[in-house]
Amino acid sequence: MAQHADRDPGFQHQVLVLLQDAVAAGDALPRHLAYLTDRVLVASGELQEYGTQYTHDSDGGNLRPHPVRDPAQLDIRRACVGLEPAAEADLRMRERYPRKAV
């Protein structure tokens, strides 16, 4: 629910803090924290950590990930939270969300 509460970034940030504690306690999956972390970062205009958030180009065409911090280390960060390599995730995203007609 918090992942898609984009109209309430304060709520997302509150849940992010709670989710960090839950992951540390072993009560939540690190990949869920990765997705929400990226969502909060992107909403704040910052670089994402795990490359989980995508957007369509301004013309509504090409799907692309929001920029990430230190792309050379991206797959290492993703592996640490149980996510597949970025290239595999990118293929899956492009299959799920094909190019929009412009």
Does residue 89 lie within any of the structural domains?
yes
78 contacts 50 by C-beta, under 8 angstroms: yes
Does residue 68 lie within any of the structural domains?
yes
- pLDDT surpassing 60 at residue 101: no
Per-residue pLDDT of 3-48, as tens digits, reads: 776 777 788 999 999 999 999 999 999 999 999 999 999 999 999 9
Per-residue pLDDT of 46-74, as tens digits, reads: 999 999 999 887 766 788 899 999 999 99
Does residue 101 lie within any of the structural domains?
no
Question: For all residues of the chain together, what is the average pLDDT?
Answer: 90
Does residue 69 lie within any of the structural domains?
yes
Number of domains in the chain: 1
52 contacts 41 by C-beta, under 8 angstroms: no
State the pTM of this model.
0.86
- pLDDT value at position 100? 62
